[in-house]
């Protein structure tokens, strides 16, 4: 008689609002901290996650301050001190290259609305000196497959605090979303996404 697999949980969350989000600047691998609003978003996310009463074994975040700050706020609310913490730049936001630090409206004036839209929303066309979503996926997904997915498949509960495009890369793989569809997927700052796995390839998704 086969035992039913224990449900395991994967929670993905984009960092709270950063100072450059607030100023409408391309951020990428630059390292601004959270705003007061971003701190509040992280606190609210922490309370939502705490209400699930999930005991996490592992916490993953990027090498960037805004994700790390968000994660630390959440962990303080969860009061789970024994979990394993891992920081890795493979989970960083996509690198916006020459656009990094520029105001998005000013960039549209310089390169044109259509070109900026292509750089921001196409799957495989990077901005000058930067990464496309495809490029981002090529570092995020191998890391996920080797470091995170096996933990979830083995019944562990995992929290990942990262960025809009690194998380879109994960969601694209998890939900088998096409490269045409993923460019329209939006992930709000401080908005937890819960995946409940009852088997390796079967899950339920919930936006908290």
pLDDT value for 2: 44
Domain extents in the chain:
16-131+158-207
pLDDT for position 5: 65
| Residue 156 token pair | 């562990």
Domain 16-131+158-207 CATH superfamily: Phosphoglycerate mutase-like (3.40.50.1240)
Considering 41, 69, 93, 131, which one is annotated as catalytic?
A: 93
**In which band, very low, low, confident or very high, does the pLDDT at 121 lie, cut at 50, 70 and 90?**
confident
Q: How far apart are CA 4 and CA 24, in angstroms?
A: 48
Closest to 158 measured CA to CA, from 172, 179, 143: 143
Single out the catalytic residue among 15, 69, 131, 163: 15
Residue 4 has pLDDT above 60, yes or no: no
Q: Which residue has the tokens 């409206």?
A: 105
Six-digit token string for 119: 């750089």
206 is catalytic: no
Question: 162 and 14 in contact (C-beta within 8 Å)?
Answer: yes
pLDDT digits over 32-66, tens only?
999 999 999 999 999 999 999 999 999 999 999 99
Higher pLDDT, residue 2 or 98: 98
Tokens 């962990």, residue located: 75
Please tell me which residue, 89 or 205, carries the higher pLDDT value.
89
- pLDDT at residue 201 in the model: 59
Higher pLDDT, 132 or 182: 132
Per residue in 165-191, pLDDT (tens digit) is: 999 999 988 999 998 898 888 899 999
Torsion, CA 49, CA 152, CA 134, CA 102, rounded to 10 = 30
Confidence of residue 202 (pLDDT cuts 50, 70, 90): low
- Number of helices and strands (H, E) in the chain? 9, 6
pLDDT, position 208: 73
pLDDT of residue 180: 85
Q: Is the pLDDT of residue 200 over 60?
A: no
Catalytic (active site) residue 93? yes
């Amino acid at each position: 008689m086969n035992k039913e697999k224990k449900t395991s949980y994967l929670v993905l969350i984009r960092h709270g609002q950063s100072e450059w989000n607030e100023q409408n600047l391309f951020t990428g691998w630059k390292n601004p901290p959270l705003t007061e609003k971003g701190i509040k978003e992280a606190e609210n996310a922490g309370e939502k996650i705490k209400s699930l009463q999930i005991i996490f074994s592992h916490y993953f975040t990027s090498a960037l301050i805004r994700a790390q700050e968000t994660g630390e706020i959440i962990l303080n609310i969860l009061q789970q001190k024994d979990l394993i913490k891992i920081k890795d730049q493979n989970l960083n936001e996509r690198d916006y290259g020459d656009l990094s630090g520029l105001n998005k409206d000013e960039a549209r004036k310089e390169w044109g609305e259509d070109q900026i839209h292509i750089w921001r929303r196409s799957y495989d066309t990077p901005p000058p000196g930067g990464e496309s979503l495809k490029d981002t996926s090529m570092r995020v997904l191998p890391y996920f497959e080797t470091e995170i997915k096996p933990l979830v498949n083995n019944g562990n509960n995992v929290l990942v605090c990262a960025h809009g495009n690194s998380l879109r890369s994960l969601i694209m793989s998890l939900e088998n979303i096409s490269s045409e569809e993923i460019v329209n997927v939006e992930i709000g700052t401080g908005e937890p996404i819960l995946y409940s796995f009852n088997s390796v390839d079967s899950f339920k998704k919930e936006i908290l």
